[in-house]
Amino acid sequence: MRNKILLILLVLSSQLQADVLWKRATVLRNDLAQALELPPDQLCKELGTYSCTDLVHNFALGGRDPFDRAQYTSMEKPSQLTVTAFERTVLQSCIQRIKKDASGATVFRFYALNRTLNETSDELIQQQIQDLYRRFFQRPASSAEITTALKLADRARFGSTRMDQWSQALCLAVGSQWANLFF
């Protein structure tokens, strides 16, 4: 359902004559690196080797590669593959950050990643949500956004989930919002 909504937004955005621009591969890579405090070469890596934004999903994310792949022009508007490539890149980048934070927290620092959701207070979770919104969008989360993100913290359903796994879902939910694909 979420992919369908993003796809509709992508198609509509390409038809609007507004000042909304699609973030291409390089800008997306740099924004993710800044938000997650990771060097660009440590973000999403397919098969542990190939950069998602520079190689594997470059074209789907609006990039081009005239030298190695003879892709002289980029896509004019987002395609169906853009949504999948975007979400994959954000998720894998979030996973890389969480792995690093397991040995010394930088981004996911408001709670212990080796604890469960039941062992983590709502206040700490809300602090993490606010921090992610500041990192990805340079603004605080609205009350509606916090309420939506807190739905992931349904203790009756997900209480035994470890915080490192829960943080992946939170990071994907915040980082893959359509507002992060456009500027």
Give residue-wise pLDDT tens across range 26-37: 888 889 999 999
Residue 12, pLDDT > 70, answer no
Q: Which residue has the higher pLDDT, 166 or 159?
A: 166
Interval 44-49 mean pLDDT: 81
Most confident segment among 10-24, 58-72, 73-87: 73-87
Beta strand residue intervals within 105-176, DSSP E: none
pTM of the model: 0.82
Percent of the chain with pLDDT over 90: 44
Q: How confident is the model at residue 159 (pLDDT cuts 50, 70, 90)?
A: confident
Residue 45: its H or E element: strand 45-46
- Counts for the chain of helices (H) and strands (E), in that order: 7, 2
Residue 162, pLDDT > 90, answer yes
Residue 50: its H or E element: strand 50-51
Residue 80: its H or E element: helix 80-101
Instruction: State the pLDDT at residue 44.
Output: 83
Domain boundaries, the chain: 2-180
Give residue-wise pLDDT tens across range 87-110: 888 999 999 999 999 988 889 999
In terms of phi and psi (left: phi > 0; alpha: psi -120 to 50; beta: otherwise), the region of 138 is left
Q: How many CB atoms lie within 10 A of CB 59?
A: 19
Helix 80-101 with 25-36: angle, nearest 10 deg? 20
Q: How many CB atoms lie within 10 A of CB 122?
A: 10
